[in-house]
Structure 1
Amino acid sequence: MRRCVTAAMLLLLSAAPAPAQDAAALTKAMVGQWELSTTERSRTCVVTLKPEAAAPGIQQGAQHGMKLELEPGCAAALPFTKDIAVWTVKGLDIVRLENSAGEAVIDFTEVESGIFEGLRANEGVYILQNLVAARSLAKSMDQMIGDWSMVRGSGRAVCGLTLTNNEAATADNFEAFLKPRCDSLVANFGPTMWRLERGALMLIAPSGEVWRFEADDNAQWRKTPDSADPLIMLRQ
């Protein structure tokens, strides 16, 4: 979901576990409640990672798996979670969710403090992050919904845009609509979807082209890479 985040995300991440220096530290930092989700949280599952070793009958193929709990709705939201029985840390920095035979269901690595990414073949990327931070991020996403104005650095308005919470045809994206009489550059780009990705706002065109915006210190969103005449999104 670049390693630059919004001011809100910086506050959230400051409360999350710092990157662990070794497997023991990472194991200790992971104990607690986490949200497992698709990249833009259209489907979520709460996972509680515990410090106790799993009973031998739970995990037959590995020796060091630890207990976990999945909330009741996990299997419906993320079907692969029905196979998850235990968790463990592999090597120095891999958080692994395993089945009862000790086989990996999904591996996560930390990409930002307290935010982990994992890839499942033919499915895509999933995010594991501190539950409190994740729920605060959800509020941030809600705050993005509504009308925006695109302006140049000079203050000249070039387009109006509405971000919605309607799920788009492409997974983990939401519908976006341009308003009439947009500048030709924006109109030709013609974004129809949006998402937040690790603190950045992504506008996506049907062609697959993506414009990336990052929040600055003035609560504005600036298109990156920056330019002498930046394109800025302002809340209406």
Structure 2
Amino acid sequence: MTLMLALIGAGAATAETARPAKVPDEVRQLAGPFDLTDAEGHRRCALALEAKIQGTGFALGFDKPTCVGAMPFLATVTSWSRGPASAIRLLDGTGRVVAEFGETEDGLYEMARAGEGVFFLSRAGGTEPAGPTPAELTGTWSFARQPGRPICSVTLTEEPADGDSYRLTLAGTCDQTIKSFAPVSWRLDRADIVITSGQGDQVRFERTEDNIWRRVSDASRPLFLTR
């Protein structure tokens, strides 16, 4: 297999990227934990690629003192973005490309730096895409019997509730079935949204290919979460 090597020297790339207007679906699907290592596996850095706009790219989380100590070129890195041919780029605060990793196979990316050797970027724990994070799901949603026809507005917050759950609030005029259920909290269970009532009853929603959340149930009446 032909390896795609992004040769970025000590002077680094000078290309800059414009601030994204929204988070593309391909970014949401790629976001998650990654491992950055050198060819020998002696130097490592755990990266968290997030689906949230930051500067000219998307938010990037990592232990800076530890990672910069292992890989000094990370010193100015503040965000990430997609590049041509499905590449992953690490950007500095001005949008300049500091490092670019070309995709060699599913979940594996490679970069060669002049005088430093080859580095690999791979999805932590395997190649399965990561599910959404609570931060990505907070905000105003609608319950609907049909997509585009809301029956109640609901706000998912990051305010802690019981256990690993977060508080939610209803707004406006709601369908009687929603009011009777009386939801009070929500949480993520694997890749599903689970909404819990004050009595402890739960409704689980799974994400469809159309990025709509659908109730997982044998009930005859469908229920969706949309925004």
| Band of TM-score, shorter chain | 0.3 to 0.5
**What TM-score comes out, normalization by structure 2 length?**
0.43
Larger Rg: 2
**What TM-score comes out, normalization by structure 1 length?**
0.42
- More helix per residue: 1 or 2? 1
